[in-house]
Structure 1
Amino acid sequence: MKAYNETWVRNKHITEQAARWQRQGLFDEAKMQQIRENYPVGFHESNGFIEIGLFVFSIVAVSGGYFLLATLLSKLFEVDLFYHFFNIGFGSAIGFLAGHLINSRKHYRAGIDNALIIAAVALVIVGVIGLFPNNMPLWQYCFIGLPMILLGVWYYSDLLLTLVAFGTLTVALFDFMLEFSFGKQLLPFVLMGVSAGLYVLARLYEDRDELVYWRDNFILLEWLSLSLLLISCNYYAVRELNYWMMDRRPAEAPEITWAGLFWTLTIAVPVLLFYLGFRQKERPLLIMSAIGWGLALATWRYFHPLFSLEVYLAVNGLSLILVAVFLIRYLRVPRAGFTDRPDEDSPNQFLINAELLASVQATSGHLGSKDGMRFGEGDFGGGGSGDRY
């Protein structure tokens, strides 16, 4: 049992991909209408800007209601226990309201439901943590709240909750490692190992048909894990973090232990991401590899400057423009599975699993092997929603 209709989530996934293929001319509007009828989606659709506005408005409304009720009951807040149960009760009420809107108004990530979900989970966690002693280490509070956040992710598949869960886990590991005398030295390696493990986990489960309800959460987890990996292995980040954790900070950050290793990782990790991304045709790996290269060059320039910042910016900007122009012209003809054509214009593109293709085939009678849509083939196109081909 989930908050949102799982069948509609799956159907939404199918119809969105079918609409992309229909725009590519692989079948006509009549067939597309058949697919919509066979895979109905009852969620309420709205504009992205409207969703942002509704999210902000809902947060303000919940905050206003919370503080108004808290003011009316302020005399009872002198008892700490009542305050904590008030948070739990108010959060539960907000959660019931979110469930009512989801079931009656058919909201799906429409702004209002996202705001109510975040507010409900946050209030319940604050209330539960308040029942524990106030002298516990930070990592223990994080591990108390993390299961409740993950429960919210499981039930709502909310992306903001996924981001919060990832941040909570990172903070918990950070604070926990500092409990040990050697934790400061091992912390970067622990974060690297956790980020790599989370990426592999998300990559393994992202495309499973039975987990389509959380597909976007797994994709977000991939991006977050790769970001943490690049930061935790970067020499500048490790050195500055070590500096700010010192009890008595000197005028400049001192050299760190294993400096040569972190310089190597700063350069080697982006190279490894590029190799894996090129070999597996995975856009997230290639994008994060480019970001990693940028961080590595910026780190090198910070510690070994040869020219002024203006000269670096001008040279790097011109170099990127030339590389972009070259790749655009060079990849007009697909080479080694890569192409400059946008995703919407690539007729051989296949962005989802075989079940989706079979579903669309059964309805439309198109997209057979004659269309070049065999599973696992395709070009690496431009800026669409798909990440791997």
Structure 2
Amino acid sequence: MKAYNETWVRNKYLLEQVARWQRQGLLDDGKMQEIREKFPVGFHESNGFIEVGLFVFSIVAVSGSYFLLATLLSKLFDNETFYHFFNIGFGIAVGLLAGHLINSRKHYRSGTDNALVIAAIALVTVGIVGMFPDHWPLWHYCLIILPIVLLGVWYYSDLLLTLAAFGTLVTAIFDYILEFSFGTQLLPFVLMGVSTGLYALARLVENRDELIYWRDNFVLLEWLSLSLLLVSCNYFAVRELNFWMMDKRPAEAPEIAWAGFFWTLTMVVPMALFYLGFRQKERPLLIMSAIGWGLALATWRYFHPMFSLETYLVINGFLLILGAGYLIRYLRVPRNGFTDRPDEDSPTELAGNAGIISTTQAASGNLGPPGGMQFGGGDFGGGGSGSRY
């Protein structure tokens, strides 16, 4: 039992993918209509700008209602315990309202339901956590919050809740490790291990057909894990962390233990991500590799400046423009599975997914994409949702 109609979610993703084939002329309007009839999607549709506006409006409306009701009830109940139960009750009420919109109005990530879901989980979490002693370490509260947020992710597959769960987990690990005397030195290695493990887990289950309801959540988890990996192995980040964890901080951050090792990781990890991204045709790995190189060069410039910041910006901008222009011209003709053509012009996007091919063939007759190189690896194009160049 989940908040949204899982069949519609599956059909929505299938139609989005098959619509690319139609835009490329692989499906005529008649066959596309047949597929739409066989795989209906009843969700309420809106564009991104409207969704953002509805999200903000809904948050403001819920906040106004909450503070108005809390002010009125404070005259009757001036009790801390009451406020904990009030938060839980109000959160449940908001959750029921979200369920009503989802079931009767067929909302699906339309902005309003996202806001109500976030508000409901936040209020229930605050109410439950408030019932526990206020002198516990931070990681204790994180362990209480995490199951609640994960339950929300399981039921609603909300991306903001996924971000909150990831942040809660990292905060719990961060605070727990620092309780050890050697925690500051151990923390970067723990975070590197956690980020690598989470990425591997998300990559492993992302393309499973039975988990398509949470596919976007796994994709987001991959991006978050790669980001944490780059930060946790960066020399500047590790050095500054050690500096801010010191009881008596000197004027400048002192050199850290294993400085050479972290300098090596700062340079090697982006290269490793590029190698894996190139081999597997994975867009997230390539993008995070580029970001990692940017962080590595910025770190090197911070500790070993040769020119002014303005000079570096001009030189880097000029080199990036030249590099982008060269790649655009060079990849006009596909080379080794890479091309400058947009995703919409990639007719083999679904080549690796036997499930989608079989369902569209059953609905529209003999349909099969021409041969070619799939970018993204895996059934649904890898951890970039449509990630092929």
TM-score, normalized by the shorter chain, greater than 0.5: yes
Structure 1 partner of 2:371: 372
Structure 1 partner of 2:219: 219
Distance 1:81 1:325 in 2: 63
The answer (yes or no) to whether the contact 2:235–2:262 under 8 Å persists in 1 is yes
The answer (yes or no) to whether the contact 2:157–2:217 under 8 Å persists in 1 is yes
Q: List alignment gaps of at least 5 residues for structure 2.
A: none
Structure 1 partner of 2:54: 54
Per-residue deviation at 1:353?
A: 2.3
Structure 2 partner of 1:282: 282
1:114 aligns to what SS in structure 2?
helix
Per-residue deviation at 1:331?
A: 1.1
Distance 1:167 1:46, change over 3 A: same
CA offsets per residue over residues 71-93 of structure 1, 9 Å max, x none?
11113543211111111111011
Distance 1:181 1:338 in 2: 49
Residue identity opposite 2:296 in structure 1: A
State the identity as a percent: 77
Distance 1:130 1:251 in 2: 39
Structure 1 partner of 2:131: 131
CA offsets per residue over residues 270-293 of structure 1, 9 Å max, x none?
011001000001000000000000
Distance 1:164 1:83 in 2: 23
Q: Kindly report which structure 2 residues correspond to 1:32-181, keeping only aligned pairs within 5 A, or say none.
A: 32-181=32-181
Q: List alignment gaps of at least 5 residues for structure 1.
A: none
Residue identity opposite 2:209 in structure 1: D
Structure 1 partner of 2:321: 321
Q: How many residues are matched?
A: 383
CA offsets per residue over residues 189-234 of structure 1, 9 Å max, x none?
1001000000000000000000000000000000000000000000
Per-residue deviation at 1:325?
A: 1.1
1:261 aligns to what SS in structure 2?
helix
Per-residue deviation at 1:240?
A: 1.0
The answer (yes or no) to whether the contact 1:27–1:366 under 8 Å persists in 2 is no
CA offsets per residue over residues 352-379 of structure 1, 9 Å max, x none?
622011111211224326x327xxx435
1:73 aligns to what SS in structure 2?
helix
Distance 1:379 1:216, change over 3 A: closer
2:367 aligns to what SS in structure 1?
coil
CA offsets per residue over residues 151-189 of structure 1, 9 Å max, x none?
000000000000000001111111111111011100011
Q: TM-score normalised to the size of structure 2?
A: 0.96
Comparing 242-251 with 182-191, which one deviates more in the overlay?
Answer: 242-251
Q: TM-score normalised to the size of structure 1?
A: 0.96
Comparing 360-369 with 317-326, which one deviates more in the overlay?
Answer: 360-369
Comparing 345-354 with 301-310, which one deviates more in the overlay?
Answer: 345-354
Distance 1:149 1:379 in 2: 33
Distance 2:124 2:301 in 1: 47
Distance 1:3 1:196 in 2: 30
The answer (yes or no) to whether the contact 2:352–2:374 under 8 Å persists in 1 is no
- Kindly report the root-mean-square deviation, in angstroms, between the aligned alpha carbons of the 2 structures: 1.5
The answer (yes or no) to whether the contact 1:339–1:379 under 8 Å persists in 2 is no
Q: Kindly report which structure 2 residues correspond to 1:205-244, keeping only aligned pairs within 5 A, or say none.
A: 205-244=205-244
Per-residue deviation at 1:15?
A: 0.6
Structure 2 partner of 1:310: 310
Structure 2 partner of 1:30: 30
Runs of 4+ residues deviating >6 angstroms = none
Per-residue deviation at 1:351?
A: 6.8
Structure 1 partner of 2:253: 253
Comparing 44-53 with 76-85, which one deviates more in the overlay?
Answer: 76-85
The answer (yes or no) to whether the contact 2:374–2:388 under 8 Å persists in 1 is no
Distance 2:312 2:126 in 1: 47
The answer (yes or no) to whether the contact 1:44–1:105 under 8 Å persists in 2 is yes
The answer (yes or no) to whether the contact 1:328–1:340 under 8 Å persists in 2 is yes
The answer (yes or no) to whether the contact 1:54–1:112 under 8 Å persists in 2 is yes
Per-residue deviation at 1:347?
A: 2.5
